[in-house]
Amino acid sequence: MGRRHRRISPLTLRILAVNVLALVFLAGAVLYLDQFRAALIQSHVDAMVTEGQIIAGALGEAATVGPEATDLQLVPARQIVQRLVGETGRRTRLFSADGRLLLDSRHLAVDQSIKVAPLPPLNGMAGLQEQAVRALTRFLDAVEQRADLPAYKEYMVQKADHYPEIVAALGGEVAHQLWQGRENRRIITVAVPVQRLRRVLGALLLSADTREIDMAVHEARFTILKLFAVTLILTLMLSIFLGNTIVRPIRMLARAADRVRLNVGQKAAIPDFSERGDEIGDLSLSLRDMTDTLERQLDGVAAFAADVSHELKNPLTSLRSAAETLNIVKDQAARDKLTNVIMQDVTRLDRLITDISRASRVDAEMSHARMEPVNITRVLEMLYDTYLATGLKNNIGLELQLVTDPVDQKPEDVIVNGLEGALGQVFRNLIDNALSFSPTGKTVAIRLRIEKQEAEIAVEDEGVGIPEDKLSHIFGRFYSERPAGEAFGHHSGLGLSICKQIVKAHHGHIYAENRIGRTGARFVVKLPLATTLLAPKAAPIG
């Protein structure tokens, strides 16, 4: 099933989502700024308490007649409040000891009764920025979990009991209160007792809205928004770049794999990203190796099919010719000869099919089997005893030379990782092959030794040897070079080819050579010694 080719990679979208969401959550947490607002409010409260104490101290000293005074003098109190409040701009109200409102700074002068509000900016871009900030503020204010504050009310006739902080101040304590005003603004009120020689003569109430605090929060939010926008753009660019560095090579590898799948039998190039030095580079190398192995196996299957077709065609042609001639020939002796030819061809076909089936199963068995530690010394000893027990023809001798312990000269265990049955088949094929080429009265030698962390198993005979020009072809499929006098068709030529397959699957190698200084052939198998008890699966054959 083909893959969909998307314009935007889901992997890139996931990278963007992870990076952007983390950034959005961080920005949202910063924009919330609840602690920042609370700190500003507390700072304003502290400043108002200080201002109130200064004004209250001045009133206690200058707005009384003497040390024994119980009331505040209104005229000097008005002058003090008007002069000091003009510096702060905060609304100041003075209450008597019995809770009556004595004066209100809002009514002391005309300029104090006029409220000043800034006009919206004329610049369009600034207006858009302001609208964006206001929209963001409304949204954040909507989700902000504000404490339930009492609503601030302006009474026509104000009394001390309208404000709990005034009641506390008349009791000699400094108190403050946060109110909910109009337009979603808060109002801060601070009440300070007016005293003379620790006698409470009244209470001073300072009030201010949180306009300045809100503006400070708005400016902080807008600054954060600008930083967030810049960071978001950089995050998007880096995420897209990161996504492309991951997605693009993976997409190229996927398309190359599709080409391999859709064009079986044709060579398809897999991109090489090994220079990246990361997991994608490792993936490309693995895919290239896998594709090369697959191509070799497909080529091997095709070559094997061609060889099988050729080898089966020869006995079938001979069989057909003999059968057609049999219907024509009337002589009984000739008919018997043709019948014998037919039986030989049938026997040859049976052996070919059996060996072909065995060779075909080798790949599957070796690829699915799990290797285990195999004692090569014990395997060779068992084979040696078996051959001696069954008897050898033509008075041929069999000799076994094993690696021995240097102290007691007993056979030393040589362990390799592999499949005992498959390795036993290799050694049986080599021994049978050597026995078939050995003249009467000669000896076949089996030698085991260790060389360079490898187990070397050699099977030597004293036959005629192998022609030098055939040494490179002897392990090919259906190659058959039989000794003189042996009946035709008894060997398929697949035995040594199967041996090579099995040895290669065990990460070893096999080769043939002629004995130096003496007649005969020498077949050598080299297998790596076992390093761990837990061995991997057999190597792929191809």
Q: Residue by residue, what is the 3-state secondary structure of 459-524?
A: EECCCCCCCHHHCCCCCCCCCCCCCCCCCCCCCCCCHHHHHHHHHHHCCCEEEEEECCCCCCEEEE
The whole-number pLDDT of residue 284 equals 86
Residues facing residue 328 across a β-bridge: none
Query: Residue 71 sits in which domain range?
Result: 10-113+121-224
CA distances from 498 to 106, 210, 379 (A): 110, 93, 19
Out of 262-266, 324-328, 452-456, least confident range: 262-266
Give me 103's structure tokens: 């004066």
- The residue behind tokens 């880096």 is 238
Same structural domain, 415 and 520:
yes
Same structural domain, 180 and 196:
yes
285 pLDDT band, cuts 50/70/90, is confident
Query: Which CATH number goes with the domain that contains 21?
Result: 3.30.450.20
Would you call 305 helix, strand, or coil by DSSP? helix
Same structural domain, 387 and 333:
no
pTM of the model: 0.50
Q: Is residue 230 part of a domain?
A: no
Same structural domain, 421 and 355:
no
Out of 46-60, 72-86, 191-205, least confident range: 72-86
* pLDDT, greater one: 410 or 149: 149
Q: Is residue 283 part of a domain?
A: no
Q: Is residue 493 part of a domain?
A: yes
Same structural domain, 192 and 306:
no
CA distances from 442 to 318, 386, 394, 439, 512 (A): 37, 19, 9, 6, 20
Same structural domain, 346 and 205:
no
Q: Is residue 390 part of a domain?
A: yes
Q: Is residue 59 part of a domain?
A: yes
Comparing CA positions, the residue from 419, 414, 415, 416 lying closest to residue 371 is 419
Give me 394's structure tokens: 């033509």
Say yes or no to pLDDT of 115 above 70: no
Same structural domain, 448 and 470:
yes
Q: Is residue 3 part of a domain?
A: no
Comparing CA positions, the residue from 510, 516, 495, 507 lying closest to residue 540 is 507
Same structural domain, 37 and 59:
yes
End-to-end CA distance of the chain: 27
Three-state SS across 280-298? HHHHHHHHHHHHHHHHHHH
CA distances from 470 to 228, 384, 512 (A): 78, 29, 10
- The residue behind tokens 């190398």 is 285
Residues facing residue 178 across a β-bridge: 188
Same structural domain, 405 and 487:
yes
Q: Is residue 276 part of a domain?
A: no
511 pLDDT band, cuts 50/70/90, is very high
Same structural domain, 215 and 203:
yes
**Total number of domains constituting the chain:** 3
Out of 47-61, 405-419, 431-445, least confident range: 405-419
Same structural domain, 189 and 52:
yes
Same structural domain, 331 and 444:
no
384 pLDDT band, cuts 50/70/90, is very high
Say yes or no to pLDDT of 23 above 80: no
Q: Cα 517 vs. chain centroid, distance in angstroms?
A: 61
